[in-house]
Amino acid sequence: MTENPNQPREFDVVMGGQNPPLINAVVLGGIEGVKRRLNYPDVEVRIAALWDALKYGEAGLDLVIQALQDKSKQIKFTAYSLLKDRTEPKVKHKLDKFLPRCEFDVITVDVFGQEISRRRQEARYFIDDLGNGVFLEMVLIIGGTFLMGSPEYGIGWIWNEIPQHQVTVPSFFMGKYQVTQAQWQVVAALPQINISLNPNPSYFQGANRPVEKISWHEVEEFCARLSRETGKIYRLPSEAEWEYACRAGTTTPFHFGRTITAELANYNAHYIYASAPKGIFHQQTTDVGSFLPNDFGLYDMHGNVSEWCADPWHDKYKDAPIDASVWEEDSNNNGRLMRGGSWGSRPGYCRSASRSRQDAGNSDSLIGFRVVCAAPWN
């Protein structure tokens, strides 16, 4: 006999009158009680109802799927979190409309730079159409907690990368690639907000090469114009967001393992790291996406161009934020953070933990950036 989803169950409790239910309580009336709470104005009550909905089989699952279209970003996130690992065809279909998936290969190498594993990964993303046939792909970075910085006395470590400290990072979207010259040109043609932008600043020319020779202030103008045009809040990543995204769950010096080679990234491969061999030194930028990505589906996190971050420069991590916010306090200089290393960097400067300083008004052919924006539930 099929169980009636509207029938009360042993874990149901009674709600009477017009008073709101307790957040952690389950309402008498089965699926009807869940529906009632989903219509309640308090977001926390509605989130608790979504968690309970899956106790009621297909009817509850349908309610969670419907919540992907809710006006509340928090409700959308809860629904997405409950559905993202489910395998039912109708769930996958709805998630692919909410956030489509892309698949890619990720590899891990040993200390000699030899591939020791290869796996198929997937990421969720959205695309903004910038016009003129130019698109911006943004990858979902699911939040979590990680250990930021370097262990003392690791290969290539520098004193400004300590002390290691735990940071909790909310979910966000990050550019799949470093911002390209084609993307820069489209945004530079938009109306000025604070300062003018040179539409073609780069030394190494190519539509799909990263834009370079741009200052931190010019990047802020780019983000302001892009935000006004798209209606989203685009910005530079905080330093903590950048390292979390680069590591993608790894604790090794590079997201692909314990060393780096010219087959994995664009850097000065005339120098070696660990026991890897020397390789080709391109002496210029390469098209974005020319090398394999990390587990989040982000390309060129090591090398190609160094990437501006939002944070002012701090000499060490003492008293650094633990919530991945931009570290504004106790900084009285014009220096800004850069991450990732560049085509001209020695391998140690391309590590996940490596950090460098540049004046906000400076620019050269080693410096570019990528953007982030809030996840739809933030």
Sign of CA dihedral 51, 55, 56, 58: positive
pLDDT in tens, 43-70: 889 999 999 999 999 999 999 999 988 8
pLDDT at 341: 97
Residue 9 pLDDT grade (very low, low, confident, very high; cuts 50, 70, 90): low
Q: CA-CA distance, 336 to 359, in Å (whole number)?
A: 6
Among 138, 59, 129, 55, smallest CA distance to 99 is for 138
Strand 234-235 to 355-359 pairing: unpaired
As a whole-number percent, the residues of the chain with pLDDT over 90 amount to: 71
Confidence of residue 3 (pLDDT cuts 50, 70, 90): low
pLDDT at 187 over 50: yes
Cα–Cα dist 3/260, whole Å: 58
Give the pLDDT score at 174.
98
**Taking residues 272-294, what's their average pLDDT?**
96
Place of tokens 């550019």: 175
Cβ contacts of 88 within 8 Å, gap of 6 or more? 61
Given this model, what pLDDT does residue 16 score? Answer: 47
Spatial neighbors of 10 by CB under 8 A, at least 6 apart, are: none
Return the minimum-mean-pLDDT range out of 72-81, 216-225, 304-313: 72-81
> How many Å apart are CA 300 and CA 177, to the nearest integer?
7
The pLDDT value recorded for residue 76 is: 82
More confident residue, 108 or 86: 108
Give the mean pLDDT of the chain: 89
pLDDT higher for 218 or 78? 218
For residue 21, pLDDT over 70 is answered with no
pLDDT of residue 10: 47
Range with top average pLDDT, 55-69, 76-90, 230-244, 318-332: 230-244
Distance from C-alpha of 18 to C-alpha of 222, rounded to nearest angstrom: 50
Mean pLDDT across the stretch 153-180?
Answer: 90
Tokens of 149: 């910085």
Banded model confidence at residue 155, pLDDT cuts 50, 70, 90? confident
pLDDT at 19: 52
Mean pLDDT of the region 1-30: 51
Cis-peptide, bond into residue 237, ω within 30° of zero: no
